[in-house]
Amino acid sequence: MTLERARSAGFCFGVRRAVETAELALQAGPCCCLGELIHNSAVVDRLAQKGLRTITAPEELPEGERVVLRSHGVSRDTLQRLKARNAVILDATCPRVSRIHRLVEAAEAAGRLPVVIGAAEHPEILAIRGWCRESLVFSGAAELEEWLSKDPENPGKPITVVFQTTQTQENLISCKNLIKNVCTNSEIFDTICGATFTRQQEALELARRVDAMVVIGGRHSANSRHLAELCRSVCPRVYFIETASELDRTDWRGIQKVGITAGASTPAWIIKEVETKMCDEIKVEETVQPVPEETVAPVTEEQAAPAAPAAEEAAAPAKPEGEKSFDELLEDSIKTIYNGDTVSGVVVAITPTEVSLDLGTKHSGFIPVSEFTDDGTDINDAVKVGDTIEAVAVRVNDMEGTVMLSKRRLDAVRFWSDIEAAAENGNIVEGKVTEENKGGVVVNVNGIRVFVPASQTGLPKGTELSQLVKQTVRLKLTEVNRGRRRVVGSIRAALNQERKERAAKIWDEIEVGSRYHGVVKSMTSYGAFVDIGGIDGMVHVSELSWSRINQPSDILKVGDEIDVYVINFDKEKKKISLGHKDPNENPWKRFLDTYKVGDVANVRIVKLMDFGAFAEVVPGVDGLIHISQIANRRIGKPDEVLTVGDMVDVKITNIDMDKHKISLSIRALSEPAPAPKPVVEEAAPAYHEPESDALVYEISADGQATGVIPDED
């Protein structure tokens, strides 16, 4: 007899998570569980021995005690009653079940009627119904059709349909077809667990090619019962057991091949016990045959392997230890590999196109180099001769004795649970964009194809999607259906989430003077808006440069990266004022370090006004040459002597420290320095009438000309 186990037999993600949550809780001491953690008495008993006490109602929980919520979830009322007892809640509800809770809650809030397809008395259904005030439950399409036909108004009612996570795809399809044909205001959510669908499909395929099926699972487990029902539809002999003790070896007469599968709440150690017992019973049958004692050699572990010969061959005289019969040698020589088999091999050669593996059989395996290098990795860094690699057979060529293998496909199967968990928990995943197709792009996330619609790429409308190809992106998974191999993601949602997280962090840490490296997002005539990592702050035009600029676009453009610092902020109004000018490069300080009153400077004329000319002394600092100080003669306007851009020498006649103003004079350089005034004691200086064309200026205390004194004559 030979045994073959389905690949997906045993714990699903939700059950494994629940058991691990309970075991982790028990490390800190005994605690309670509201209802049986999972539908497997062996697991529940094992956890009970470690200190997990099962209670049936919140009122049984001691005040402030720790309690584990089982994988099936609890109602909203139950949760509130636990909180009222100050319970320390360890939520082990399956994330897929929690999603259904949110769906029915949202449906009720929107004025819709939640409809649940499943077993009405199942704990999962009871918990789901506890998240809305009114709901309907139907076991399948027949009951749903009966309700729809009872009242002419029922088909027009706004209904939201969800499914128990362990329902079959057949039930989902039949209900969906009925609803689409009859109902006029419905929305349907496929909430069947992808792992459940995969397990059912594998069990069906296995049951079709074996003589008998063993289904391992709890009596109260809905998904285990569904497995048994599916197997019975294609296999005449199906044994539904909970533990190995329920096996009866007398049932195995005449059976050549047995398939084994297990429900989502069946742990690996129970599956192993069943397999071990079946193998042990095969050995018992071999040794009780009427074989003369003197001809029977001792049975070795190798000879007692599960893949034993047929019963009639077991009675043949045993061969010497270590010697193989002709049939065994023939079997080894023709041993083959089938598409879909998982194999392990040792790397024996690496070429530019493929990695060759020794599989230990007549076949030689190879994996395309592209499976190791599609992310830009060098093949010599990814794999080396002598490495052991596990992969799945995708194409067997018996004529050539070769097997094309795929490591990526095997990895994808293993990563499905991680993908589903990421979708349920809203985690961000990372992948590489491999192609652009109609309506979006495809991202490879650990070997799994994720479709991202164009509207969710984060690119502006009309932008070429091809620019994302070969780029590594981060995204959130919005839809995962393992049964249909469909995964949909959103780059935009990931960007929004990360932006919010960065913004929250900035608001928690922001201080006046904090420095950031930002990106210019937009500009106005009065300033530029800069993204500093999740938050936009405004840099006023006066804070962009120490030099005079007319508008931000004179020195910046959208997309530029600049360093900024916080001048002021308002957390309530979510506003931030930023500066870009480096205080250490203040031109006024540089001017004071270079010049003083009386110094001569070479300046550039930057602006002409009716009352004088402005000149740049150092970049960012201008001084005024009053019209009276431009020439040693009377002029009507500055442009009679000066032009914008002229370089002229001036004398610094005054510096206003408070107002940061500088007075300059060209005239002072053309006039000779005044001679010392002689001391005259006896006679006053003679008075001379000024010539008619002379100009008399009124001079202020600081030496600046403030106006012309009119000629009284």
Please identify every residue annotated as catalytic: 124
Residue 608 token pair: 């002409």
Sign, CA dihedral 3-6-10-16, equals positive
| Backbone φ and ψ of 477, nearest 5° | -90, 120
CA distance 334 to 642: 103
Closest CA to 611 of 509, 707, 496, 500: 707
Distance CA 511, CA 102 (A): 39
By three-state DSSP, how is residue 105 classified?
helix
Question: Which residues are CB-contacts of 688 (< 8 A; sequence separation ≥ 6)?
Answer: none
Cα separation of 325 and 20, whole Å?
Answer: 48
- Is 54 strand, coil or helix? strand
Closest residue by Cα to residue 155 from 180, 188, 177, 174: 180
Which H or E run includes 487?
A: strand 486-490
Element (H, E) at 350: strand 342-350
CA distance 49 to 58: 22
Tell me how far apart the alpha carbons of residues 590 and 352 are, in angstroms, rounded to a whole number.
63
What CA–CA distances, in Å, run from 544 to 202, 511, 540, 604, 677? 66, 20, 7, 22, 51
Tell me how far apart the 2 most distant CA atoms of the chain are, in Å: 163
Query: Contact at 8 Å (CB) between 274 and 260?
Result: yes
d(CA 552, CA 568): 20
CA distance 447 to 454: 21
Nearest alpha-carbon partner for 638 in 665, 611, 661: 611
- 176 closest CA partner among 113, 241, 117: 117
Per-residue DSSP letter, 474: E
> How many angstroms separate the CA atoms of 92 and 66, rounded?
13
Please state, in angstroms and as integers, the Cα–Cα distance from residue 117 to each residue in 94, 113, 133, 183, 461, following that order.
18, 13, 17, 16, 40
- The residue count of the chain comes to 713
Q: What are the CA-CA distances from residue 615 to residues 520, 587, 627 (Å)?
A: 32, 14, 13
User: How far, in Å, CA of 120 to CA of 167, rounded?
Assistant: 12
How many Cα atoms within 13 Å fall on the side-chain side of residue 581?
18
Q: 99 is written with which tokens?
A: 């999603």
What's the CA gap between 587 and 593, in Å, rounded? Answer: 10
Which residue reads 């005054």 in tokens?
Answer: 654
The H or E element spanning position 410 is helix 407-425
- Contact by Cβ (8 Å): 634, 628: no
Q: What is the DSSP letter of 585?
A: G
Q: How far is CA 140 from the centre of its chain?
A: 36
